[in-house]
Every structure is written in structure tokens, then in C-alpha cells.
Copies of this chain bind each other. A is one copy, B any other.
């Protein structure tokens, strides 16, 4: 066959990049587990009617069919690949409600698929890392405060740019638009969500044409959208606009609690930003969008919110709150900018040199003794001259070469050339060399 070419929108990493991804995912995973989130993986497919019920992204769904499906066999006819991890998780909760303990904390790290036109930060196959907390029939608001802190902990210490989370609350927007007397508060949210694309003027015209908003109403909507603050000062600024509504009061109190706690526990992380809306209809409380310093043009790299009605089986509802890290979006951008790499492209810490092919079994046993102490080792592929074997290690970034030798093994740090006698059952690599690490710019 001819040399294949990449498929646009379906990124794949080279081994060193994959090591970076593994380290990042391991950090996320361990942090999520430290907070008591259990891992869930759902199948890649969902029934189409379930995917389409959630609207909006319907046109971007990949539908499956079996190549040789018999006519009349429609057992696969109605399956599509999931476009996010929230919709499959809501289905998983309903399906297994009797076997889960609520409130249920879960994380989920898997690929998603959307048939969108590929562009920077937008792929057709992309990995998401989600956390959600779902309860039965009611969900206390303190979880909306906790989730941003989990994300901050998960990303802390990784060599990636700082993030800033912009937070709003649907009750604020909805209560404000209702108190203002607009006929359809949900439609107003969708219109104001377009402000980054169409600007203040565009939003004003759309509010007038679709909702019949007056000049004063439009001005109030735009004033609300202009408010942002790293602390609770936003509350007074909203009140100063002069709109009165119970739901608005509730939302302001919830949003203030999120912002104030975050300001103490993770200074600089969270900003109240009253223009944040999130397109999806199912959000009902706090909504989150996150931007990475220097990469704001990517759009949000970690989004989510509270949803009260996504999962319901008629008898019970399962309200939840979740955040989703766009792993591929973050890594793709940092790889593309040359800002993130690994210290080597293989897990191997020690190459065992091979004097002659007859020594292979003995060298295999030396390698085994290292592995038994959790040191990754492989034996040279062939008994070339030692210079070539050292070059084999160099090309991969393997830091050490072990020479068997008749007077006992010696180990060489190929970066310094230093070579010393080595007790194979006691020698330890420096901590930084034991496993491949990641390096930011």
C-alpha cells in the first residue's frame, strides 16, 4: 500500500506526545479519585433517539451501519457515536439507578465524535475528561462550589498555562430577563450567548426582532452582559440595574457563594462573568467556561454546569453538576505551539547492552532484575558494536546503558559519559529518570 496520510480532524500523537498525554491523564485521574470520584466508561454508541433528544448537535452525529447488514435487520440501524460524555452518563445513571449509591461521583475519560468541520481546537474525534456529581430528586448547591476546586487541583502542577474559569448562573440570566419583562427568557439567553460572534449591536437587533425588546430592555441586557468580577462585587452592580426577581436573587446568592469560596481556596481561578450562557438547554444553575492564558482563541477548554432535568425516568429525577476538560483541545494546541514535550519517547530507563547474540539470555535476566525493582529495561536488539548500541539509546532518549562485562556490570549515563560499576540489585536511577517526565516551555 502507499504511505497513508493523516485524516483531518482525527489527531494521533507520536510516542513522546502520548507520554505527555498519559502523564496529564494520570494526574487528572488520581486527583479525581482523591476526591472520591469513581471511574465509569460508557460504550461508544447510543441509540439515535437518545442522542437527538438533546438537540443542537444532532446534525454532527456519526451514525453507524454494519457493512453487510441484512435487509430487515435494524438492530444497529439506530446507533450513533456519542458527541459528549454527559448524555451517555445520564443514560447510564437511569439504566443503573437501582445499583448506584447517590449522590454518585463519577469521572469519565473517553473519546467523543462530532462530524464538524475540523479547525484549530475542533476535532472530529477528541478526548474529554469529565467529572459529575449526580443525586436523586435533589442536589445541594455546595457541589456547584466544589467542582471548580477539583478542576483547579487536577491541573495544578502540570506544566501548562494558567486557566481562568468564567462562571455564571442560569437563574441570574433567566430571573433577570423575566424580571425585565421579556417574553421568552430562554430565548433571550440564546440570543445573548451570541454576543462574542455578533457584538452588542447584533444582540440588540436580535432581541428587538425576535422578542420585541424595547431600547431600555436591550440596554439592561447589555449592561448585565458587561458585568464581571473576581469577587462578590458583581451582586451590587446587578442590583444597580434595578431589575427585581426572586429567581434572580436566588441565582445571585448561589453565584456569590461559588465565587467567594473559590477566591479563598484557589485565588485567581474563578471570575463571575454574567455574559456566560452555554448554548445547551439543559443547564439550570451554575454554568462554567474556562480559558487558558495565551490560548483564549481556542474557546473554552473546560465547560459545564448544573442540570436538573437531563436524567428522569418519570418516577425520579437525577439532577447533577459536571465539568468537562477538553483534553485534545488543550494538548493539540500546546503540541502545535511546541510548548509541551516529554523527556524521552520510550518508557525504557536502561538499555542492557548485548556483547554477542549468545549472551541474550543472560542479558534478559539482567533486565529482569531491574524490572523486578520497577526500573524499565530492554535488551539491545542485536549485538552491534557498543558505539551503535549507545546510539540506539541516544536516539530514544534512554538515559542509561548497562554493560554486562566479565568483571561485573557497569552502568553508563550516556548524557555525561560517566560509567561506573553497578550492583544490578541495588542501583537506582535518579528520580527524574525513573519514568519519562513532561516538560513545558
Q: Provide the residues of chain B in CB contact with A265, threshold 8 Å.
A: 364
Within A17-52, which residues are at the interface with B (CB < 8 Å)? 18-19, 22, 30, 33-45, 47-48, 50
Q: A294 on the interface (CB 8 Å rule)?
A: no
- Among the 9-residue stretches A64-72, A191-199, A267-275, the one with 4 or more Cβ atoms under 8 Å from chain B is A64-72
B38 touches A125 (CB 8 A): no
Contact of A2 with B by CB under 8 A: yes
Contacts of A12 in B (CB 8 A): 41-43, 92
| Given contacts A1-B312, A50-B4, A360 and B14 within 8 Å (CB-CB) | no
- Chain B residues with Cβ below 8 Å from A261 are 361
Chain B residues in 8 Å Cβ range of A106: 15
Distance in angstroms between the alpha carbons of A421 and B172 in the assembled complex: 45
How many monomers of this chain does the complex have?
A: 2
CB-based contact A66/B371 at 8 Å: no
Q: Which residues of B contact A428 (CB under 8 A)?
A: none
Known contacts A61-B67, A140-B382; is-contact A38 B4 (Cβ 8 Å): no
Is A101 part of the binding interface, using a Cβ–Cβ cutoff of 8 Å?
yes
List residues of chain B with CB within 8 A of the CB of A99. 14
Contact of A6 among B13, B36, B95 (CB under 8 A): B95
Binds B, one of A207-215, A221-229, A342-350, A405-413: A342-350
| CB closest chain-B residue, reference A11 | B43
Give residues 40-93 of A contacting B (CB, 8 Å): 40-45, 47-48, 50, 53, 58-69, 75-76, 79-81, 91-92
Contact at B59–A62, with CB atoms within 8 Å? no
Chain B contacts for A64, CB-based, 8 A: 62-64, 81
Of A1, A10, A58, A63, which is in contact with the most chain B CB atoms at under 10 Å from its CB?
A: A1
Tell me the bound Cα distance from A6 to B346 in angstroms: 40
Are the C-beta atoms of A1 and B53 separated by less than 8 Å? yes
Tell me if A159 is interfacial: C-beta within 8 Å of chain B. Answer: no
Chain B residues with Cβ below 8 Å from A47 are: 4, 7
A378 touches B35 (CB 8 A): yes
The CA of A80 and the CA of B385, in the complex, are separated in Å by: 46
Pairwise interchain contact B313-A2, C-beta atoms closer than 8 A: yes
Q: Could you tell me if B18 and A40 are in contact, using CB atoms closer than 8 angstroms?
A: yes
CB interface residues, A 295-335, toward B, < 8 Å: 312-314
A376 at interface (Cβ–Cβ under 8 A)? Answer: yes
- The answer, among B62, B146, B364, B395, for a CB contact under 8 Å with A65, is B62
Closest chain B residue, CB of each to CB of A435: B33
Task: Given A19-B38, A22-B39, A35-B377, output 19 extra A-B contacts at Cβ < 8 Å.
Answer: A1-B53, A3-B313, A8-B75, A14-B96, A15-B106, A18-B40, A30-B374, A33-B376, A34-B375, A36-B376, A43-B125, A60-B67, A62-B67, A62-B76, A63-B67, A66-B115, A67-B115, A101-B396, A140-B382
The 5 closest A-B pairs by CB, nearest first: A36-B378, A66-B115, A33-B347, A59-B68, A36-B348
